[in-house]
Amino acid sequence: MVNRTVKVLGVLGSPRAGGNTDRLLEAALDGAREAGAEAEKVSLARLEVRPCTSCDGCRDGVRCVLEDDMSDLYGKLEDADVIILASPVYFDAVSAQTKAFIDRTQLFWYRKYVLKMAGRKRRGAFISVAARVRTDFACPEATARAFFHTLDAMPCRTLAFSGFEEAGSIEDHPTALGEARDLGRALAGERNCI
């Protein structure tokens, strides 16, 4: 049997290119590449991902009726062995870009929970950053967990940092980028990283 290269998909939900979430995600993807994986980042803010309209058009598990950049992302999600979802905290939740993307995976929800179709088992991680020091990340983490369960991506870890507001200030954290790199390496290396 030929081992296929592990495919890692990084989904950036921050509109700030080079911001804190982006830097952490890039570090995680670098770690995955170091472990031999093929890693790709998609930046939701650069794409058109319209909100789910709850039309139920995806209930047959085949496709979403909306035609936008999500059509391409469905293929990338299906193909990914590892999904890393990265969002800043906005009003104690994930960003609007991230939430629109998650809601559009309702197609996978129908496949798994209604049609009982067996999907690819994968691994997943959630990366998040907030400005307020006492942020507990409960709300964004719960949303991310629902997404990972739907995609059969075991949410083996959340990597979250609070107290970082300015773009790039995460660089001031002594271990954050190294932790993100280690996370990417572990996820790509098929080790159980709970």
Ligand X SMILES: Cc1cc2nc3c(=O)[nH]c(=O)nc-3n(C[C@H](O)[C@H](O)[C@H](O)COP(=O)(O)O)c2cc1C
Positions touching ligand X (CB under 6 A) are 14, 16, 19-22, 88-92, 129-132, 135, 164-165, 167
Judging by beta carbons within 10 Å of its beta carbon (0-12, 13-18, 19+), is residue 119 exposed, middle or buried?
middle
Q: Least Å distance between CB 59 and ligand X? A: 33
* Residue number, 121 or 132, with CB nearest to ligand X: 132
Task: State which residue, 74 or 162, has the beta carbon closest to ligand X.
Answer: 162
Q: Count Cβ atoms below 10 Å from residue 157 Cβ, excluding itself.
A: 19
Q: Between 110 and 137, whose beta carbon lies closer to ligand X?
A: 137
For ligand X, the closer of residues 14 and 106 by Cβ is 14
Q: Which two three-digit tokens encode residue 168?
A: 């790039």
By C-beta, is 87 or 150 nearer to ligand X?
Answer: 87
CB of 36 to ligand X, least distance (A): 27
Quick one: 22 or 81, whose CB is closer to ligand X? 22
Q: Name the residue with the smallest CB distance to ligand X.
A: 19
- Can you tell me the distance from the alpha carbon of 114 to that of 106, in angstroms, rounded to the nearest whole number? 11
